[in-house]
């Protein structure tokens, strides 16, 4: 709170970029964790909450006739344009937000003060929800070829890997340690995913320290052990995800890529995904396009093309597809690296796993995938997401690109994911929010030093509590689809309005088909409960059968306050008047009520029947994991 000099500013305007409505007028509050804007001009109380950690930039714009503008860009692509009446207030809010959005020490992050009033036991259970050993066991590891080893328990082999890693059983400690000395930052080849169908493996590492001619016997033995762990294939792929020019430039610095002459039976391939700096600039250009006030179609499409963003998304997707095909169709193991093996490598390995294994398309499986390929294997979330005040050149949307690739797959295969778009957006938001401990730091060792599990909460139980609203209503189940084979031709990629223009009211339709389906499914559950309740009351409406008269009269007396009874002795006080046809007036309303509910139920069930038909059509279009283009 020491950074907040002005906790409350009144008569602040909030501008809307896309609608010509009058600017909102309200009060701006600064708290220890959020900027809160309360719109006083709205008929119903309307609040806008912006987490300090979500703020990417704060900018003071030139004075206008309305006052002093303050423009806030957020990491989740929210843009807030405030106009403050007094220059002093504007400057104090500006300086406060600069400090609050860029903490210096990890202990200042939101996760260390966030307290959802959960017991210590429940917090510990939350952290144990994802167990990577269970996922390796699901793949059939340990087995004759692969083992889980604690060779890195003291971080002696690699300080950015977890204590336990999966390596070929044939690779002894000398081979592991020797290989680590020949790999950038000691990031040796380790198993990422084993395809049980044919023993082909996806492994990951960093670039070799080969320079122009250096070689390492232990590293060559490590690759041989990986290849021999898949007896069904005479060769393995080594995939460098960088453009060839970049990899060649690294040779001059004593790094580089594998020489095929030094490794037995490998096939080397460059993929060509650009580095973190190119991606950062590309996203910036994309956001400039998204923020154009009134773009023409030509301006928007030209800007989108010039940003190169979808071209980069396609490059990542192509790499994932290549890995999946190599493993499934060619039955070959693949070793993947980029420079240090924690950016492009994480994108490609996790995407390939998602294409090959339907488990990773479930709620729990997707959480496991992120824990395994991103968190445990040392993606530098703290640097790439700018959690702390540091080098801005280290910030890059690497994880954002992965999330978008998953969304692009969901557009082609709408029935194959258990979760919906909102689930992806929730995860993306919390990668930047620092509200939970999962994404803090840069590696396992750093999180251990920060005592993340003892001092913060895990995101995953929080998301599972919201499972109902994050569910995909079109999901056809775990066994409906196995491998996915997406189309990666340019026309298959879409601009993700729901991510980059999510907060702009005038930019996308107010209604979402999947939201409507979720609502219908929720309504269906309520109707089924209502129908069940009505069925239980039917005996009272229709009157007892001869053999049931005695028992039902007892039930009637026990429930005499229920308005659904229709025998005189079951009413307290005066019985309802009897009409000329022998029916009591009380029954008229009851029967009408039930009849009306029955008609409503019937109508809704017809709607749901039509919905199910629509789902079946969508399902048939995605049959065999291949999109049908009409």
Active site residues: 338
The dihedral through the CA atoms of 391, 394, 397, 403 has a sign that is negative
CB 354 within 8 A of CB 485: no
Structure tokens at 108: 């200042």
The dihedral through the CA atoms of 348, 351, 352, 353 has a sign that is positive
d(CA 331, CA 312): 27
Helix (H, G, I), strand (E, B) or coil at 301: helix
DSSP annotation of 208 reads: B
Going by C-alpha positions, the residue among 68, 66, 67 that lies closest to residue 58 is 68
DSSP string, 92-144: HHHHHHHHHHS-SSGGGSGGGT------HHHHHHHHTS--HHHHHHHTT-SSS
Rg over alpha carbons for the chain, rounded to the nearest Å, is 30
d(CA 515, CA 471): 10
The dihedral through the CA atoms of 448, 453, 459, 463 has a sign that is positive
Residue 58 phi/psi, 5-degree rounding, is -125, 130
d(CA 403, CA 424): 7
Listed in order, strand segments (DSSP E) in 323-425 are 333-337
Residue 290 phi/psi, 5-degree rounding, is -65, -25
Peptide bond preceding 188: is omega within 30 degrees of 0, i.e. cis?
Answer: no
For helices 309-328 and 398-412, what crossing angle results, to 10°?
70
Between β-strands 200-204 and 146-149, what pairing exists: parallel, antiparallel or unpaired? Answer: unpaired
d(CA 40, CA 44): 9
d(CA 357, CA 365): 9
d(CA 20, CA 210): 60
Burial of 83-92, coded b for 16+ CB within 10 Å and e otherwise, reads: bbeeeebbbb
DSSP annotation of 61 reads: P
d(CA 210, CA 256): 6
Helix extents (H) in 371-451: 381-384, 398-412, 421-433, 444-449
Listed in order, strand segments (DSSP E) in 435-594 are none
Residue pointed to by tokens 């009351």: 537
Going by C-alpha positions, the residue among 290, 316, 310 that lies closest to residue 500 is 290
CB 331 within 8 A of CB 323: no
Max CA distance (Å), the chain = 107
């Amino acid at each position: 709170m020491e950074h907040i000099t002005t906790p409350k500013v009144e008569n602040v305007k909030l501008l809307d970029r896309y609608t010509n409505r009058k600017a909102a007028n309200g009060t701006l509050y600064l708290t220890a964790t959020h900027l809160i804007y309360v719109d006083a001009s709205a008929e119903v109380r309307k609040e806008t909450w912006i987490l300090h950690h979500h703020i990417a930039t704060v900018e003071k714009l030139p004075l206008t006739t309305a006052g002093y503008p303050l423009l806030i860009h957020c990491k989740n692509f929210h843009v807030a344009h405030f106009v403050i009446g007094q220059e002093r207030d504007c400057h104090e809010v500006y300086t406060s937000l600069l400090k609050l959005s860029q903490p210096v020490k990890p202990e200042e992050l939101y996760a260390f003060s966030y307290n959802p009033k959960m017991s210590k036991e429940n917090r510990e259970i939350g952290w144990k929800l994802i167990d990577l050993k269970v996922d390796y066991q699901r793949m059939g590891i340990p087995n004759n070829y692969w083992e889980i080893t604690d060779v890195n328990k003291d971080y002696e082999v690699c300080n950015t890997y977890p204590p336990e890693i999966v390596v070929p059983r044939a690779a002894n400690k000398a081979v592991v340690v020797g290989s680590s000395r020949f790999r950038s930052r000691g990031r040796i080849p380790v198993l990422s995913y084993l395809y049980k169908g044919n023993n082909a493996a996806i492994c990951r590492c960093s670039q070799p320290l080969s320079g122009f001619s250096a070689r390492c016997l232990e590293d060559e033995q490590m690759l041989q052990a990986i290849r021999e762990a898949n007896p069904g294939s005479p060769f393995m792929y080594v995939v460098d995800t960088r453009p060839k020019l970049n990899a060649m430039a690294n040779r001059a610095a004593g790094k580089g890529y594998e020489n095929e002459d030094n490794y037995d039976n490998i096939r080397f391939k460059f993929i060509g995904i650009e580095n973190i700096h190119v991606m950062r600039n590309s996203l910036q250009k994309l956001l400039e396009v998204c923020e154009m006030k009134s773009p023409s179609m030509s301006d928007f499409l030209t800007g989108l093309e010039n940003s190169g963003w979808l071209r980069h998304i396609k490059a990542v997707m192509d790499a994932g597809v290549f890995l999946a095909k190599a493993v499934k169709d060619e039955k070959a193991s693949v070793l993947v690296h980029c420079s240090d093996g924690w950016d492009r490598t994480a994108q490609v390995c996790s995407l390939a796993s998602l294409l090959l294994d339907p488990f990773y398309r479930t709620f729990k499986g997707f959480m496991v995938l992120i824990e395994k390929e991103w968190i445990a294997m040392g993606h530098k979330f703290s640097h790439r997401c700018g959690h702390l005040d540091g080098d801005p050149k280290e910030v890059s949307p690497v994880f954002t690109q992965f999330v978008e690739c998953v969304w692009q797959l969901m557009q082609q295969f709408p029935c194959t994911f258990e979760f919906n778009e909102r689930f992806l957006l929730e995860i993306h938001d919390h990668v930047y929010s620092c509200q939970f401990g999962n994404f803090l730091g840069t590696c396992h060792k750093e999180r251990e030093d920060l005592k993340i599990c003892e001092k913060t909460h895990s995101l995953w139980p929080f998301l599972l509590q919201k499972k109902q609203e994050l569910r995909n209503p079109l999901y056809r189940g775990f066994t409906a689809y196995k491998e996915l084979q997406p189309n990666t031709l340019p026309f298959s990629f879409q601009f993700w309005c729901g991510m980059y223009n999510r907060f702009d009211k005038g930019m996308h339709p107010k209604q979402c088909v999947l939201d409507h389906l979720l609502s219908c499914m929720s309504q269906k559950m309520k109707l089924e409960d209502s129908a069940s309740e009505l069925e239980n009351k039917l005996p009272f409406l229709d009157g007892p059968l001869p053999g049931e008269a005695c028992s039902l009269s007892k039930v009637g007396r026990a429930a005499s306050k229920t308005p659904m009874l229709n025998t005189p002795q079951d009413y307290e006080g005066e019985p309802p008047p009897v009409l000329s046809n022998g029916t009591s007036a009380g029954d008229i309303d009851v029967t009408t009520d039930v009849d009306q509910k029955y008609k409503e139920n019937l109508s809704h069930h017809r709607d749901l029947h039509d919905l199910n038909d629509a789902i079946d059509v969508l399902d048939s279009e995605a049959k065999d994991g291949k999109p049908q283009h009409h």
